[in-house]
Chain A
């Protein structure tokens, strides 16, 4: 730092290269790309061409330093979300804000932090409040560059001899952001003004130290100040490690080589991405919409004007052009709403990016070069691009994740057609339930919890194997459900059991990965507010090639119960909900039962020894279930992934009563019967369409949330409305 500080004394006023401001550098790079279609207009890569081994070594060394920063810095955090589940990542950016390389972790934020840096440059932060060596910035505003407010970013400029040569960025998912309902995926907010603490690219430190007023402000704004503080130090330490690593590299390689490298590596990655698209996929158009419910009509804890049942519409289409460009289009998405599930284009771009890192470019250089080879259309005024900055975003992931399920299904079709069957995956299961809430915890402190066991929902099936059971999640592919003991340290709830959730996996020749469930009991707290967050009225993740969606969800709680007496008698207690009907608990414990399909609600009071079931969903299947190998189904039944009853109904596999092996004769008969039943109950599609047009569409026989969904999409998008009318041969005047 001494050397840089001394240089700073005589540094020119502008921090950009060649006497330019950083804002001018950003404008120049965007103009060069617009003109040439190549990053910085580069048509050749002289550094790489002259010494490709050196080029790769520089990249590997930078990438290693990013991973090192993450793995070291996360030990500062005390939050299981960060420390156990790895909900953090670090990234190195160019002076203009384009990512060069990144660590592992929640990769969605590699691009959202890019947007935040560019926001600061476009708004001339270099002039005011200044971008100086040792400065620290913080951002969590989705309208600038983020998904939801609980993902908090720290950004540090990297100086070399008076010039900014890059940015280090780190993000952690904090436990609470001070919303009007507790937890980090707040469902209560209906506008920005209830979303909690907003830090829209704020300068929060100088000379490598956080401003005391920032520290105090944040401590007083969130429910978990200790966790907040340690998370912020985690991010800052990681950024400083990255800065030191970059400066060490420059000392060895020379500043001119470093500058050339960060230019070439972006263009190199852009070209590589295009080539990978051409190598792995099939050009064409793919369609894979998604839907998810929020049943708020009877939610008395919401403002009256927001109490309604909502069906999200994500009309996902993917176009792959002959030139190898990918374009994702959400034309037809419904209007933004008075809820916390809204997304911004920044969030959608981040999600696109994280989907690509797992599919097309997992073993290549991963950086913003790919961003330059993709397009994203987010219709203005819709939930993917609100035309006001007053929208709430506390739980933007609730809409975002299913909407990008279509990306995995579409790419799965392309991989299959191209022959790369090992890469086919039907997506993931829904990333719920989230056990979330707050109150006075078992340590006697004000607290908030957002349990992240939904980092391990069931994976989607593929062509050559079943989905991974309780495996990972779209937004963090190296997900970890966390140790029971770690969650019990931060949550006033004990685990009575954690087990596979029978029948949660989507059926298929290859079944989806199984979900799991946890029976939790309130412990050492007089009262605590808890909510459920998950799909309940719909299947939000369909399968492909004849596979079925993973199951939908429900909520179960047993309040004001006699567990104390059960324990005193040393009688059996419930460890789960094996039959998904509450009986396993109600057969053993008396109390007030909550059992319904309203699987996303608002926080409600729970008391000592109340039971709460948290059910993580299963993944979608691939292929006709009747083609599944019968002995595989027998294993599923033995491992309680599938019930014997569903094995017969869905797979046509009959097991012997004793021993559980396949009854070959009964299975053959059952499969034959199911196939005949299919034929008997099916009709030609054209005949069905003709009837459905009259009795459903023309008659407008839609439930209220479905009608609202169509109304909203058709009003906002004349193009989608025209397609809808054309499909059903409806008059131009048709409205829902």
Chain B
């Protein structure tokens, strides 16, 4: 039997409030095919702005359709990071822990990485100062483009409908 869950259950799931026994049941069952649309509605109801969410992109980030029909990465606080086909990190703030002392602020000395080998890059929202991503890479490594979704293929070939063009909800 193909399951389907009500919005209250999925909201509790997203917020980590669902009892483990129910979560376990959801994980063991076949997946509910209407999940994406229901979760979109839940995400949309949690943000204060009107732009239509096309894809949840991270814990605080969304790809949205703006009033002027741009598709951009946007923080829950409203901060925009530009076209989703460009790496949103380029429009963020960054704090790089590139010295031993800076890394050891977060890890005991013997459990920290060697700053000669690796640095921590913290990508921060300019609007709300939320920490959005942390990279652990050697000095000089290009900034990672973690995820480049193919929105057209997803909507049109997998969901079987046009990518929304409406400006807002």
Chain A positions within 8 Å of B, measured between CB atoms, are 278-280, 282-289, 291, 293, 311, 320-322, 363, 410, 413-414, 416-423, 463-465, 503-504, 507, 509-510, 536-539, 542-549, 551-554, 556, 579-581, 595, 597, 622-627, 643, 646, 649-650, 675, 678-679, 681-686, 688-689, 692, 696-697, 701-703, 705-706, 709-710, 723-724, 727-728
Contacts and interface: CB of A to CB of B under 8 A. Distances in A.
Contacts of A283: 149-150, 153-154, 157-158
B83 interface: no
Contacts of B147: 284-287, 410, 413-414, 417
Contact of B111 (A410, A503, A684): A503
Given A542-B135, A682-B122, A422 B110 contact: no
A550 B57 CA distance: 23
Given A539-B136, A683-B94, A626 B131 contact: yes
Nearest to A555: B110
B93 A650 contact: no
Interface in B117-169: 117-118, 120, 122-124, 126, 129-150, 153-154, 157-158
A624 B130 contact: yes
Contacts of B131: 546, 624-626, 678
B129 A538 contact: no
A676 to B, nearest CB: 8
16 contacts: A286-B147, A287-B144, A289-B144, A291-B137, A421-B13, A464-B23, A537-B114, A539-B118, A544-B146, A552-B111, A553-B111, A627-B130, A646-B106, A649-B106, A703-B116, A727-B142
Contact of A597 (B39, B93, B110, B130): B110
A322 B36 contact: no
A503 B89 contact: no
Contact of A289 (B58, B123, B137): B137
Contacts of B134: 542-543, 546-549
A697 B143 CA distance: 13
Nearest to B145: A287
Given A311-B117, A419-B39, A623 B93 contact: no
Contact of B35 (A284, A285, A418, A678): A418
Contacts of B154: 282-284
A575 to B, nearest CB: 18
Interface string B68-80: 0000000000000
A685 B93 contact: yes
Given A464-B14, A545-B58, A646-B108, 15 more contacts: A283-B150, A284-B150, A285-B148, A413-B147, A417-B56, A417-B147, A419-B56, A421-B14, A538-B138, A553-B111, A554-B110, A683-B93, A685-B94, A692-B140, A703-B117
A580 to B, nearest CB: 5
B27 interface: yes
Interface of B: 10, 13-16, 18, 20, 23, 26-28, 30-31, 33, 35-36, 38-40, 55-60, 89-96, 105-114, 116-118, 120, 122-124, 126, 129-150, 153-154, 157-158
Given A322-B157, A537-B113, A420 B145 contact: no
Contacts of B143: 685, 689, 727
Contacts of A727: 142-143
A356 B13 CA distance: 24
Given A283-B153, A537-B117, A685 B90 contact: yes
A723 B142 contact: yes
Given A419-B38, A548-B134, A679 B124 contact: yes
Nearest to A416: B56
A675 B20 CA distance: 32
A696 to B, nearest CB: 5
Contacts of B90: 685-686, 689
Given A423-B27, A580-B108, A706 B14 contact: no
A329 B33 CA distance: 29
Most A CB atoms within 10 A — which of B109, B111, B129?
A: B111
Most A CB atoms within 10 A — which of B10, B131, B149, B154?
A: B131
Report the 9 A-B pairs with minimum CB-CB distance, sorted nearest first.
Answer: A419-B39, A551-B111, A682-B93, A322-B153, A727-B142, A703-B116, A284-B149, A554-B110, A546-B131
A679 to B, nearest CB: 5
Given A289-B137, A544-B133, A689-B143, A705 B117 contact: yes
B110 A595 contact: yes
Contacts of B10: 419
A293 B113 CA distance: 10
Contact of B129 (A646, A675, A688, A689): A675
A679 B129 contact: yes
A155 to B, nearest CB: 33
A690 B102 CA distance: 22
Contact of B110 (A465, A580, A682): A580
